[in-house]
């Protein structure tokens, strides 16, 4: 049964570990995360009407965590490690873009048969305009470190916050299990399967998967997203995360 407490929100403190001695600090996020209920953290819901909401909440939180993390570092960016820091920023940006692609390709066409997700589609356009500008700075800085302008990136990130957070929160509210009840349960089952299939087939797994896992809190790691133990404990930390291993020192959580 759907637990309405899953919409509870609250400020969180993120403990961020940076490789190297004595460089741990706490970042208090100014924006609340939507959190899952304790029951949902322990076990994936069995009601197909809950699947979409259950998967979307932690996914959106990874984007907020990355946003807060990047913004906090732009006052004192790691110039000595710019390739990796820009790579981390790129992983955050392309993770959002890939997430939106999956929604536009798989989720919204189904939901739009009985609900209206035109607002979300318009919000995506605004967000992608911001992301393109941010990615342009990131790519230029990766190519030529002297081009990096943290003040400009911070300004873009700051103006990006409202459209990003508003969209992420509104979409979560729009896909609550009660609203999904207009669909046949088989539609929800197929949507879940199609979405998982799409996600597995698109994007760079060496970038997107380690980003997701290192922005998923420990208490949720065994439950979300659904995956085999061998993937969670071996393939992701020891294979996928290796290719861009320098990026993930900027992540808030451990890889596995
Ligand atoms: Fe979403």
Predicted confidence (pLDDT) per residue in 8-41, tens digit: 333 333 333 333 322 333 344 545 676 767 666 6
Angle between helices 82-102 and 185-201 (to 10 degrees): 150
CA of 22 to the centre of ligand 1 (A): 36
Q: Distance from CA of residue 241 to its chain's centroid?
A: 16
Which residues have C-beta under 5 Å from ligand 1, the single-atom ion? Answer: 171
Q: Distance from CA of residue 102 to its chain's centroid?
A: 13
User: Whole-model pTM above 0.75?
Assistant: yes
Q: For the segment 47-75, what is each residue's pLDDT rounded down to a tens digit?
A: 999 999 999 999 999 999 999 999 999 99
Residue 256 — pLDDT band, cuts 50, 70, 90? confident
Q: Could you state, in order of their start, the residue ranges of all structural domains in the chain? A: 4-250
Q: For the segment 120-132, what is each residue's pLDDT rounded down to a tens digit?
A: 999 999 999 999 9
CA of 241 to the centre of ligand 1 (A): 24
CA of 35 to the centre of ligand 1 (A): 14
CA of 43 to the centre of ligand 1 (A): 21
In the chain, what percentage of residues exceed pLDDT 90? Answer: 79
Please state the φ and ψ torsions of residue 123, each to the nearest 5 degrees. Answer: -65, -40
Long-range CB pairs of 130-135, under 8 A, 24+ apart, other chains included: 130/156, 130/159, 130/160, 130/163, 130/164, 131/93, 131/96, 131/97, 131/160, 134/89, 134/93, 134/160, 135/90, 135/93, 135/94
CA of 65 to the centre of ligand 1 (A): 15
């Amino acid at each position: 049964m759907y637990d309405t407490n899953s919409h509870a929100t609250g400020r969180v403190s993120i403990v961020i570990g940076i490789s190297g001695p004595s460089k741990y600090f706490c970042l208090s996020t100014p924006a609340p995360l939507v959190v899952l209920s304790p029951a949902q953290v322990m076990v994936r819901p069995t009601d197909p009407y809950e699947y979409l909401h259950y998967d979307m909440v932690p996914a959106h939180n990874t984007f907020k965590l990355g946003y807060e993390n990047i913004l906090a570092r732009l006052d004192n960016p790691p110039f000595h490690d710019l390739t990796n820091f820009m790579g981390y920023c790129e992983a955050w940006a392309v993770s959002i873009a890939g997430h939106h692609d999956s929604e536009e390709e798989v989720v919204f066409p189904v939901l739009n048969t009985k609900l209206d997700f035109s607002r979300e589609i318009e919000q995506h356009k605004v967000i992608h305009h911001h992301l393109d500008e941010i990615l342009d700075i990131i790519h230029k800085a990766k190519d030529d470190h002297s081009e990096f302008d943290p003040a400009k990136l911070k300004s873009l990130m700051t103006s990006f916050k409202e459209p990003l957070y508003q969209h992420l929160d509104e979409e979560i509210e729009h896909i609550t299990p009660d609203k999904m009840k207009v669909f046949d349960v088989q539609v929800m089952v197929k949507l879940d399967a199609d979405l998982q299939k799409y996600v597995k087939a698109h994007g760079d797994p060496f970038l997107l998967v380690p980003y997701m896992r290192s922005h998923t809190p420990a208490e949720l790691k065994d439950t979300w997203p659904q995956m085999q133990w061998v993937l969670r404990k071996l393939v992701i930390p020891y294979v996928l995360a290796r290719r861009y291993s320098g990026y993930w020192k900027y992540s808030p959580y451990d890889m596995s």
